[in-house]
Amino acid sequence: MPELRKDPVLGRWVIIATERAKRPKDFSRVDSAPPEKECPFCSGKEAMTPPETCSLKDESGKWRVRVIPSKKPFLTHEGELWKKGKGPYDLINGLGTHEIVVETPEHIANMADLDENQIKDVFSVYCNRFKEIGKDSRMKYVLVFKNYGWDAGGGRVKHSRSQIISTPVNLKRVKEELEGAKAYYNYHERCVFCDMIRFELGAQQRVVLDEDGFVALSPFAPRFPFETWLMPKDHSPDFYKLSETSLAALARVIKKTLLKIKVLLNDPAYNCVIHTAPFRRPYPGYWSTIEEDYHWHIEITPHLTKVAGFEWGSGFYICPALPEDAAKFLRETNV
Amino acid sequence: MPELRKDPVLGRWVIIATERAKRPKDFSRVDSAPPEKECPFCSGKEAMTPPETCSLKDESGKWRVRVIPSKKPFLTHEGELWKKGKGPYDLINGLGTHEIVVETPEHIANMADLDENQIKDVFSVYCNRFKEIGKDSRMKYVLVFKNYGWDAGGGRVKHSRSQIISTPVNLKRVKEELEGAKAYYNYHERCVFCDMIRFELGAQQRVVLDEDGFVALSPFAPRFPFETWLMPKDHSPDFYKLSETSLAALARVIKKTLLKIKVLLNDPAYNCVIHTAPFRRPYPGYWSTIEEDYHWHIEITPHLTKVAGFEWGSGFYICPALPEDAAKFLRETNV
């Protein structure tokens, strides 16, 4: 069973994927993407994957979006949650879920190329999974993310899909965001994300898109060139509470944003992560303002540079592109 | 002039490298390493680089280690430090230094292949630069790091070198370590790193090397397969205070560790970062225990996997190798 281990200095939890444990020779360094494998995610190939957890079907009963358990899960769903110490260390058993969301029955690689209704269905499935997984009281956080392209960890099969991981701990980055947003709120009594949106819409320097209640922008202090954030203009801590109308609007805006990135940057690999408030809010005293201080959003990071090596060790990022320029280029890219 | 910008939520400073600003077409994605360029770092090619800042010479007056300003500095050294706000954001001008340490006059790519005396000289030069740069009261932190190999940001010239960056702000990762170490100390009144070393030497599960007052180990909760930390067994917050004897011992241990990684993992790209306490300690109340609670160390992270994509967005790491196995493999690799 996988283990969750905590770094005793940084407080960062790491999944030690025992089921996937590799030996030195397994780490063959592959410079360019290897040939594509047979796709198990296309319509008609359902027998190649584990049975579906759920799916969204059209009127004729054919699936449009399909959720399946990962064949090689990072975390597993069986047994009781235990936590223990070991010398100076803390660990938890690797309890959680790891699902794949197959975003289309067709063999389309990039979410940018799905039609808006299809993207809306995908986001609607995310919302449903959030609500469903949230019923398990052992789970603290649900992370929805997408690896597109070889350099972003997208693997050897080019079929648009995303992953949903639920964990019994809050993720470090989520904690940091919650704490940062709370610190800002404590001083200003305003949501830092709402302030950012207001400032950016006024300054019009880093706005990529402003449509249908959503704004896409190049953040003021990006880690990576052409990093793009997508935020709802209406304040809300919880992604999964989006209305049907907002889901449709989000689908339009995300399709446009991803298409701009694809066209401008020559179809780069990218990661996409949804940041939303944890549904377990166990410290009502400490986090009592979370409804007002946190604002869900989506972060898209294209993989364009190799220079991000030492950032892992230092937490220090050097961005070789001005976000103002990046926003201008993206804004002016017609899609 | 470059700018330092602070993310208003996470409190992370990012260098916006305006001098290096790139346009979309400049981000050509190169899958494998391009051909090597003419080496400007070899003995005899000194005119190809900016004049040296300092160097360490042998008895005949030939340089053994050479420090030069970066041709494309991330940060520059001119002018007064200014800090200002801009809407919800904070920024500082990009004041600082960015130097290249050429580690050998010979065209040798990997520090693992330098001889021990040469490595000792390199570390001795680091110490001197720490002391020298520390005299500039505007600077808060000095980061010494190394990118080896294309995948680690090592660039197109294969000549062993490292980089020294000094910054007017403390780095996020350093702050987190300081705070984590302090929290542990506040509770236990012991250094967390000393506790780790004691526990690891007792357990003998994750120790790679234990020699000459230094220990190399696979951390309990690594982010990356075969990540390796190197720590002095004697408690000290400050790397640059190492004695001559300890520098020689460190050189022996780091050479062995890097050679083990090279041999076992087929000469992988890696990053290497020195984590030491900031020499400015401006909050004597809050950081009053830093002498006791922080412990300098070196982190080495080989680049073996492509799966590290979404970790940037989530702070959530999945390590596909058991550190106990990694340590065993490295321990048993004869060099």
Task: Tell me what pLDDT residue A14 has.
Answer: 75
Q: Considering only residues 200 to 259 of chain A, which have any Cβ-Cβ distance to chain B shorter than 8 Å?
A: 202-203, 219-226
Across the range B282-304, mean pLDDT stands at 80
Of the given ranges (A2-11, A131-140, A181-190), which has the lowest mean pLDDT? Answer: A2-11
DSSP state of A76: B
- Is B197 or A312 the better-scoring residue by pLDDT? B197
Q: Which residue of A has its CA nearest to B143?
A: A314
Output the CA torsion sign for B112, B114, B118, B124: negative
Residues A5, B309: C-beta atoms closer than 8 Å: no
Which residues from B are below 8 Å from A272, CB to CB? 313
- Is B259 or A18 the better-scoring residue by pLDDT? B259
pLDDT tens, residue by residue, A64-82:
999 999 988 878 877 788 8
Across the range A133-145, mean pLDDT stands at 90
Task: Tell me what pLDDT residue A80 has.
Answer: 80
Q: What is the pLDDT confidence band of residue B30, given thresholds at 50, 70 and 90?
A: low
Alpha carbon of A22: minimum distance to chain B alpha carbons (Å): 5
Residues B147, A22: C-beta atoms closer than 8 Å: no
Task: Tell me what pLDDT residue B304 has.
Answer: 83
pLDDT tens, residue by residue, B83-138:
888 888 888 888 889 999 999 999 999 999 999 999 999 999 999 999 999 999 88
> A147 at the B interface (CB within 8 A)?
yes
Q: Considering only residues 79 to 118 of chain B, which have any Cβ-Cβ distance to chain A shorter than 8 Å?
A: 87-89
What are the phi and psi torsion angles at B135 (to 5°)? -70, -20
Of the given ranges (A3-7, A237-241, B276-280, B323-327), which has the lowest mean pLDDT? Answer: A3-7
Of the given ranges (A190-199, A226-235, A254-263, A274-283), which has the lowest mean pLDDT? Answer: A274-283
Alpha carbon of B60: minimum distance to chain A alpha carbons (Å): 36
Task: Tell me what pLDDT residue B315 has.
Answer: 74
% helix / strand / coil in chain A, to the nearest 5? 30, 25, 45
**Candidates A13, A20, A312, partner chain B, best to mutate (most B CBs within 10 A):** A312
> A12 at the B interface (CB within 8 A)?
yes
Task: Tell me what pLDDT residue A223 has.
Answer: 82
Across the range B217-236, mean pLDDT stands at 93
Q: Which of A59, A60, A93 is nearest to A78 (CA)?
A: A93
b/e B245-260 (16+ beta carbons within 10 angstroms → b) = ebbbbbbbbbbbbbbb
pLDDT for B197 beyond 60: yes
Alpha carbon of A62: minimum distance to chain B alpha carbons (Å): 31
Q: Which of A90, A211, A27, A10 is nearest to B176 (CA)?
A: A10
Query: Could you give the percent of chain A with pLDDT greater than 90?
Result: 58
Residues B193, A321: C-beta atoms closer than 8 Å: no
Which residues from B are below 8 Å from A222, CB to CB? 14
> A152 at the B interface (CB within 8 A)?
yes
- Domains of chain B (ranges; CATH) run 3-22+36-331 (3.30.428.10)
Alpha carbon of A168: minimum distance to chain B alpha carbons (Å): 13
Residues B31, A33: C-beta atoms closer than 8 Å: yes
Nearest to B325 among A21, A152, A269 (CB): A21
Across the range B295-307, mean pLDDT stands at 86
